[in-house]
Amino acid sequence: MSYLHIYWKKYRFKFLTAIFFLSLEALADLLQPALMSKIVDQGVAHSNLSFIERYGLLMLLITLIGAICACTRNILSVIVSQKFAQDLRQDLYIKIQSLSQTQIDRFGNATLITRLTNDVTRVQTFANGMMRIMMKAPLVGIGSLIMAVHLNSRLSLILLGVAPIIALLIFANMKVSYPYFRKVQHALDHVNRSMQDYLSGIRVVKVFNRSAYEQERFNKNNQILGRLSATASQIGSLFGPLINLTVNFGVIAILWFGGIGVNNGSMHVGAIIAFTNYMMQLLFAIMMVNNAFSMLVRARASTERIGEVMNIEPDMSFPNLQSSDMVIDHMGSLQFEHVDFSFSSGNEHRRHVLTDIHFSVLPGETIGIIGPIASGKSTLANLILRFYDPDQGAILLGGKNIKKYSEEQLRKKVAIVPQHSLLFSGSVIENIRWGNENASDEEVIEAAKIADADTFVRKLPHGYGAMIGQGGVNLSGGQKQRLSIARALIRKPEILILDDATSAVDAQTDKRIRNRLKQAIQGLTCIMISQKVSSIMDADRILVLNQGRIEAMGKHDELLAKSPFYRTVCDLQLAKGERSRG
């Protein structure tokens, strides 16, 4: 939990000031029964009105000071806990951004969201509670004990007998319920995951009529969450009454022995009232400590879960270089040198995806990549962007290992249009400018024209100002793809990767985009991944990937002769006259 130190350092002054006001408030609470005892024994018993007035006013003044302290402490506690939670969420977000794709895959999106929201809120609630009641409880508890001993040391023995039993019960509560609160948070991850899966695949769920199945899945996870939460709370509510019972035994014992004391004249009624008052304050303090412990147990589980993310070191790093620090010899060239890659997910064995990938691309060349489903095409593209690092071998960009580029340099040089177009809520122009926020309106329109998006954008109700819903829900698949291409082009990259980026557009549009790309961007190195032969057959060279290995590489006509896979795909996809180029 070392990551919490920085927040302690930042907010300790305000935190300690809140605790100071809390202590004054506790002191005001502790003085009340003693004053009351004086009023009863010296004012009421001797009908001394002026004594009652003086001490009554003093009690009012102390109550007023207590109230002012409570208000100040409340304001401070809200400020500190809100700002602390805001900082923690922000830092956690930045940490998640710094993790490699492998590390994010290992955690999973749902649990990261729960940690960023629900877990942070739990820690915030605890921090707020500390400044409001948790610190007050021990102060009032210990203060009550001291005042009670001062009032009557023999009756205090009862308090001293009751206190260790209660401490033991609180400890047992903490020990038993802690594992359940961890399980509750874990179950919450599952509920979030099933909701996330449903929302991201809502159309597929509906098309396949799987709503009932998804509902059942959600229901199952929700029931587990409900069961675990109930068990955790039941454990807490079992210990609460036990503690109550123990304290009430103590109160009865005090009244019993106090009654005997008043009868034989060794004690005053006012003192007994004050003693039971301190006993009740002690009861309140103990209940608060018990609540504080159950909050602590929950917060501890959440703090550990946040710590699992905060304390992890990113397993991929980028050098911190300025663009001018590196001399690039062959802009736009790309080389894969005997690259091997496998996915690892936690303790699971590694899943080999790419083996001995060795090829080079010249500046300005267009390379088509084709291969069966799951042959590793997208993974190969992801390696160029360093979403993952190879297990063996190296990837060279402009003659330099990509590991030598800063993240900013690499992302500037290589742009990708991913397989699944992802747009953001905002206008069309904002979405295209996402690729380069400094691009002028003319540059945006130019990129849209090359991506064959300009015509359909102008037909939208507000043209380039038309709003796009979250994820681009109000656009067709082909429209989303074309905007994604425009967004990548506006970066003016040296290497453009199109990962099945025209799968949702018709053959004519596909051809138009390819022709425009070729004409508009001279010298742009292009890697086109596609399942459609028509999309890549005009490429300068084509790489055939099969089961993670390069089956063949060459021009369309050469591959017809030397790659069985390529020949079969051409036979299936192209009409006889189309098979030979030109």
Ligand X SMILES: Nc1ncnc2c1ncn2[C@@H]1O[C@H](COP(=O)(O)OP(=O)(O)OP(=O)(O)O)[C@@H](O)[C@H]1O
Binding site residues, ligand X, CB under 6 A: 105, 343, 351, 353, 371, 373-379, 419, 531
- Please name the residue that has the structure tokens 């890659």: 341
Q: Which is nearer to ligand X, 105 or 356 (CB)?
A: 105
Q: Helix crossing, 441-450 with 477-489: angle to 10°? A: 130
Q: 418: helix, coil or strand? A: coil
Closer CB to ligand X, residue 63 or residue 531? 531
Q: Which is nearer to ligand X, 166 or 485 (CB)?
A: 485
Q: From the CB of 346, what's the least distance to ligand X, in Å?
A: 11
Comparing CB distances to ligand X, the nearer of 194 and 378 is 378
Considering beta carbons, is residue 178 or 341 the nearer one to ligand X?
341
Beta-bridge mates of residue 426: 468
CB of 180 to ligand X, least distance (A): 32
**How far apart are alpha carbons 243 and 169 in whole angstroms?**
7
Q: Residue 551: which of 414, 384, 371, 394 has the closest Cα?
A: 371
Q: Are 491 and 412 in contact (CB under 8 A)?
A: yes
Minimum distance from CB of 380 to ligand X (Å)? 7
* Least distance in angstroms from the C-beta of 506 to ligand X: 20
Render 466-494 in DSSP notation, one character per residue: -EE-GGGTTS-HHHHHHHHHHHHHTT--S
Instruction: Output the six-digit token pair for 426.
Output: 């905002």
What minimum distance in Å lies between the beta carbon of 204 and ligand X? 16
> Token pair for residue 423?
């747009």
Bridging pattern class, strands 334-343 and 392-397: antiparallel
> Between residues 97 and 324, which has the closer beta carbon with respect to ligand X?
97
In terms of CB distance, is 104 or 328 closer to ligand X?
104
Pick the closer one to ligand X by CB: 377 or 480: 377
CB of 96 to ligand X, least distance (A): 16
For residue 439, the Cα-to-chain-centroid distance in whole angstroms is 32
Query: What is the nearest approach in angstroms of ligand X to the Cβ of residue 343?
Result: 4
Instruction: Give the other-Cβ count within 10 Å of 204's Cβ.
Output: 10
Q: Which is nearer to ligand X, 354 or 397 (CB)?
A: 354
Cα distance between residue 10 and residue 433, in whole Å = 37
Task: Name residues whose C-beta falls within 8 Å of residue 119's C-beta, 6 or more positions apart in sequence.
Answer: 185, 302, 303, 305, 306
Q: Are strands 495-499 and 414-417 parallel, antiparallel or unpaired?
A: parallel
DSSP code per residue over 162-215: HHHHHHHHHHHHHHHHHHHHHHHHHHHHHHHHHHHHHHHTHHHHHHTT-HHHHH
User: Could you tell me the smallest distance in angstroms from the CB atom of residue 419 to ligand X?
Assistant: 6
Which whole-number Å values give the CA distances from 32 to 58, 134, 356, in the listed order?
10, 21, 82
Q: Which is nearer to ligand X, 392 or 419 (CB)?
A: 419
- What is the nearest approach in angstroms of ligand X to the Cβ of residue 421? 14
Find the shortest distance in angstroms from Cβ 371 to ligand X: 6
Q: Is 107 in contact with 309 (CB distance < 8 Å)?
A: yes
